[in-house]
Amino acid sequence: MTGYGKTLLMISVLDMIVTILGIHYGLIEEANFFMRWHLEQGGILLFASVKLLITAISILCFETVFEKELMSRIKMKRYYIAAILLYVLLYIVSILAVHREVIL
């Protein structure tokens, strides 16, 4: 697995852990309706399983394209970096939104 894939996986796992802890302690609610439905239907185990499955499939697609050189490596690196930056940006925005709600 490339370093980009490992980075994306670590960010996703960190997001999942923080989300599970936040939900467990009543500090946050899952905002993503798709993931919230899985959480409501099957609890934390189903939620974590779906989250990890989506992450694994996404990274597998990226890694396959990267490994098989179905697209130039430079372009793939740019897509990987864009995906990582967007994930981090969305994560920061969601944290700020939760923090704002807690303060108000």
Amino acid symbol at 88 = V
> Residue 95: its pLDDT value, please?
77
Question: What's the CA angle centered on 78, arms 70 and 12, to 5 degrees?
Answer: 100
> Residue 101: its pLDDT value, please?
57
Domain enclosing residue 94, as ranges: 3-103
> Residue 100: its pLDDT value, please?
61
Q: What is the pLDDT of residues 46-74, one digit of tens each?
A: 999 999 999 999 999 999 998 898 888 89
Instruction: Calculate what percentage of the chain has a pLDDT beyond 90.
Output: 59
> Residue 83: its pLDDT value, please?
92
Question: CA distances (Å), 43 to each of 37, 55, 56, in order?
Answer: 9, 18, 20
Q: How many Å from the N-terminal Cα to the C-terminal Cα in the chain?
A: 43
> Residue 94: its pLDDT value, please?
80
Residue ranges in the chain modelled with pLDDT below 70: 98-104
* Long-range Cβ contacts of 92-99 (<8 Å, 24+ apart): 94/31, 98/22, 98/27, 98/28
- How many structural domains are present in the chain? 1
